[in-house]
């Protein structure tokens, strides 16, 4: 059973960079039928797609966040990471990492439990 676990600081100061890591267990991040992604949810609001990465390093970002987002992958550690720069209070959210099934359909089938990141001084 695939499991994903987010880790990283729960509090980030305005204008700084938010950094999170997702550790994948129970399966390989180098799967040819998977993308790996980040999704966030501000308190009381809906889900927002941040971006996705393939194990080869190919990335796809939400156009509205593209200038501030970097997603990277470390296949040796079975991890992928998110960096979001120049954060403001509007970036306060629960951040989920996820596995996206591709090729035979395109959907999220595994989610991490989510981690709350608060942007505040």
The contact set with other proteins (CB under 8 A) reads: 37, 39, 46-49, 51-52, 60-64, 96, 100-101, 105-109, 111-114
**Inter-residue contact 17 to 83 (CB < 8 Å):** yes
Q: Residue 9 or residue 60: which is nearer to other proteins going by CB?
A: 60
Q: How far is the CB of 59 from other proteins (least distance, A)?
A: 10
Give the C-alpha separation, 40 to 97, whole Å.
9
Tell me how far, at minimum, the Cβ of 36 lies from other proteins, in Å.
13
CB of 71 to other proteins, least distance (A): 12
CB-based contacts of 40, cutoff 8 Å, min separation 6: 47, 48, 50, 91, 93, 94, 95, 96
Per-residue tokens: 101: 């099934």
Query: In Å, what is the CA distance from 78 to each residue of 45, 96, 109?
Result: 31, 17, 18
Shortest distance, CB of residue 64 to other proteins, whole angstroms? 8
Which one, 76 or 105, has the nearer CB to other proteins? 105
- Looking at beta carbons only, is 7 or 16 nearer to other proteins? 7
Tokens of 86: 């120049």
Comparison of 14 and 57: residue with beta carbon closer to other proteins = 57
């Amino acid at each position: 059973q695939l499991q994903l676990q987010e880790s990283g600081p729960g509090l980030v100061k305005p204008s700084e960079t938010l950094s999170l890591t997702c550790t994948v267990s129970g399966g390989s991040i180098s799967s040819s039928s998977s993308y790996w992604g980040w999704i966030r949810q501000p308190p009381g609001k809906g889900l927002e797609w941040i971006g996705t990465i393939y194990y080869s390093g190919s990335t796809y970002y939400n156009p509205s966040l593209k200038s501030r987002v970097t997603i990277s992958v470390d296949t040796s550690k079975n991890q992928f990471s998110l960096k979001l720069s120049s954060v403001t209070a509007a970036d306060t959210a629960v951040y989920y990492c996820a596995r996206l099934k591709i090729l035979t359909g395109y959907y999220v089938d595994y989610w991490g439990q989510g981690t709350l990141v608060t942007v505040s001084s």
